[in-house]
């Protein structure tokens, strides 16, 4: 962009809308020759595998885990494609969403030079991952209603701003971001927007996955760690254009998803009914817990949540946190987060666990 496009009063450039994605990618990544694994190079029919220095005899386990897994997890992606209504080619699976976040930094952000925008209070890994990758962070806080400050975000953009993280439903506040605001940003933010939908299964708002064809600068992240109950398997999902998925495949470790996780997830994904029942149960429990918490004099506000947790403002969060911890109930103290003074984040448990919490709170004074 030439200097004459820059506002002489503010020094800011006009909104240019989404740039060409390739223009946003780090040069060393564009020029990278990725690692080519044995399983990757050979695509024909094989009956004797002498290509990857594995143990040909087997493994000490009943299920043989002696062979390297499918680097692209196609069976898993075919199943996810059916559930999510997206072609398998538009899916990338990470070792948790945290790997997806880290890879996004590695693909788009030149250390030291580039920066990203995050909107606190929000999920902590966006900032930690930026720090690990030595990438600058611009913080544009949410409004007092926990919504996006759209103008603030656009004003914060400079020529080196590559990514914007939007978490919806947001952790730790639990609310959805206004869809119209997200759309305004998708139309005007000149970098890549990552919408983190870790809690989307609990939300009344629909996913942005269906908007991928509309916005080439959009990455949608989901996870199997929450509603799907598979946190231990470490499976983060990323949905994006073919161009972006290609970049993720280029930079990922060759076998980033282990065979046990692939097989177990495939088995779990057949059980949508169980998961849907749990989601309904969590929503019911959330309404009940909100009502019960509202009865305590030390509870000042229970924020409306579209996730599987509640942000609860109390009189003295640290004192209450310590009291609960002393009685072996662990919640998250968010009092140090901006806009979350004296707030605890409480995950919905089973009906029995929620009752235990309420009974204990009755003893707190
Ligand atoms: C908003 C958000 N995104 C991502 C994650 C992490 O997901 P994963 O387990 O897939 O790494 C969390 C976990 O708490 C989260 O709250």
- CATH number of the domain that 177 lies in? 3.40.640.10
Alpha-carbon span 334 to 343, nearest angstrom: 5
Looking at residue 44, its pLDDT comes to 80
Query: Does the CB atom of residue 161 touch ligand 1 within 6 A?
Result: no
- Whether 8 is covered by a domain: the verdict is no
Domain boundary among 248, 268, 288: 268
Q: Which residues contact 329 (CB under 8 A, 6 or more apart)?
A: 356, 357, 360
Looking at residue 16, its pLDDT comes to 47
Alpha-carbon span 212 to 200, nearest angstrom: 16
Alpha-carbon span 211 to 241, nearest angstrom: 11
Looking at residue 215, its pLDDT comes to 94
- Whether 7 is covered by a domain: the verdict is no
Question: Is 256 found in the same domain as 283?
Answer: no
- Whether 168 is covered by a domain: the verdict is yes
- Whether 219 is covered by a domain: the verdict is yes
As beta bridge partners, residue 238 has 92, 221
Question: Is 277 found in the same domain as 259?
Answer: no
Angle 93-210-248 (CA atoms, 0-180°, nearest 5)? 30
Question: Is 137 found in the same domain as 32?
Answer: yes
pLDDT tens per residue across span 168-191: 999 999 999 999 999 999 999 999
Atom of ligand 1 nearest to the CA of 167: 1
Looking at residue 2, its pLDDT comes to 42
| HSE toward the beta carbon, residue 79, CA cutoff 13 A | 15
Question: Is 323 found in the same domain as 174?
Answer: no
Q: Which of 97, 171, 229 to mutate to test the pocket of ligand 1 (most atoms within 8 A of CB)?
A: 97
Question: Is 256 found in the same domain as 131?
Answer: yes
- Whether 225 is covered by a domain: the verdict is yes
| Rounded CA Rg of the chain | 23
Looking at residue 22, its pLDDT comes to 92
Could you say which residues of the chain have pLDDT below 50?
1-4, 14-16
- CATH number of the domain that 297 lies in? 3.90.1150.10
Question: Is 212 found in the same domain as 333?
Answer: no
Atom of ligand 1 nearest to the CA of 122: 1
- How many structural domains compose the chain? 2
Atom of ligand 1 nearest to the CA of 235: 10
- Whether 195 is covered by a domain: the verdict is yes
**Buried/exposed code over 228-237 (b: 16+ C-beta within 10 A; e: otherwise):** bebeebbbbb
Domain that holds residue 346: 273-361
Question: Is 303 found in the same domain as 256?
Answer: no
DSSP state for residue 159 in the 8-state scheme: T
Alpha-carbon span 41 to 37, nearest angstrom: 6
Query: Does the CB atom of residue 167 touch ligand 1 within 6 A?
Result: yes
Nearest Cα to Cα of residue 95 among 331, 304, 255: 255
Q: How many residues does the chain have?
A: 365
Question: Is 244 found in the same domain as 138?
Answer: yes
Distance 231 CA to ligand 1 centre (A): 9
Q: Do residues 106 and 292 touch, judged by C-beta distance below 8 A?
A: no
Question: Is 333 found in the same domain as 309?
Answer: yes
Looking at residue 15, its pLDDT comes to 46
Domain boundary among 268, 296, 331: 268
Looking at residue 316, its pLDDT comes to 98
Q: Which residues contact 186 (CB under 8 A, 6 or more apart)?
A: 18, 193, 211, 214, 215, 217, 218
Question: Is 288 found in the same domain as 140?
Answer: no
- Whether 28 is covered by a domain: the verdict is yes
Predicted structure pTM score:
0.94
Domain boundary among 268, 291, 317: 268
Looking at residue 10, its pLDDT comes to 59
Distance 201 CA to ligand 1 centre (A): 13
Nearest Cα to Cα of residue 166 among 224, 228, 208, 212: 208
**Buried/exposed code over 192-215 (b: 16+ C-beta within 10 A; e: otherwise):** bbbbbbbbbbbbebebbbebbeeb
DSSP state for residue 196 in the 8-state scheme: E
Cα 131 from chain centroid? 17
Query: Does the CB atom of residue 225 touch ligand 1 within 6 A?
Result: yes
User: Going by DSSP bridges, is the β-strand pair 218-223/299-302 parallel, antiparallel, or unpaired?
Assistant: unpaired
- Whether 6 is covered by a domain: the verdict is no
Distance 3 CA to ligand 1 centre (A): 41
Residue 177 has φ and ψ, to the nearest 5°, of -80, 145
Question: Is 285 found in the same domain as 234?
Answer: no
Question: Is 281 found in the same domain as 213?
Answer: no
Looking at residue 3, its pLDDT comes to 47
Tokens at 294, concatenated: 């509202």
Q: What is the DSSP string of 36-49?
A: --HHHH--S--SS-
């Amino acid at each position: 962009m030439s200097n004459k496009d820059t506002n002489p009063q503010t020094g800011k450039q006009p909104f240019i809308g989404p740039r060409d994605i390739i223009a946003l990618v780090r040069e060393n990544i564009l020029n990278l020759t990725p690692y080519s694994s044995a399983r990757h190079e050979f695509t024909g029919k094989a009956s004797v595998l002498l290509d990857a220095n594995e143990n040909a005899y087997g493994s000490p386990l009943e299920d043989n885990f002696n062979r390297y897994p499918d680097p692209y997890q196609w069976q898993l992606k075919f199943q996810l494609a059916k559930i999510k209504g997206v072609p398998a080619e538009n899916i990338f699976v990470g070792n948790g969403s945290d790997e997806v976040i880290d890879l996004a930094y590695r693909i788009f952000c030149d250390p030291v030079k580039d920066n990203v925008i995050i909107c606190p209070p929000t999920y902590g890994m966006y900032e930690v991952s930026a720090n690990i990758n030595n990438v600058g962070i611009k913080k544009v806080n949410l409004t007092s209603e926990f919504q996006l400050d759209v103008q603030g975000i656009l004003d914060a953009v400079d020529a080196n701003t590559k990514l914007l993280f939007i978490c919806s439903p947001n952790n730790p506040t639990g609310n959805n971001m206004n869809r119209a605001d997200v759309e305004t940003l998708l139309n005007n933010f000149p970098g890549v927007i990552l919408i983190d939908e870790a809690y989307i299964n609990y939300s009344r708002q629909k996913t942005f996955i269906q908007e991928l064809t509309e916005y080439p600068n959009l990455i949608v992240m989901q996870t199997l760690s929450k509603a799907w109950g598979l946190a231990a398997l470490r499976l983060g999902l990323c949905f994006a254009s073919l161009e972006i998925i290609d970049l993720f495949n280029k930079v990922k470790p060759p076998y980033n998803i282990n065979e046990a996780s692939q097989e177990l997830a495939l088995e779990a994904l057949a059980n949508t009914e169980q998961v849907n029942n749990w989601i309904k149960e969590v929503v019911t429990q959330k309404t009940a817990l909100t009502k019960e918490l509202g009865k305590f004099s030390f509870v000042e506000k229970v924020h409306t949540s579209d996730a599987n947790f509640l942000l609860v403002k109390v009189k003295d969060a640290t004192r209450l946190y310590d009291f609960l911890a002393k009685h072996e109930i662990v919640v998250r103290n968010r009092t140090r987060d901006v806009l979350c003074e004296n707030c605890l984040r409480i995950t919905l448990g089973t009906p029995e666990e929620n009752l235990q919490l309420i009974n204990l709170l009755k003893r707190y004074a």
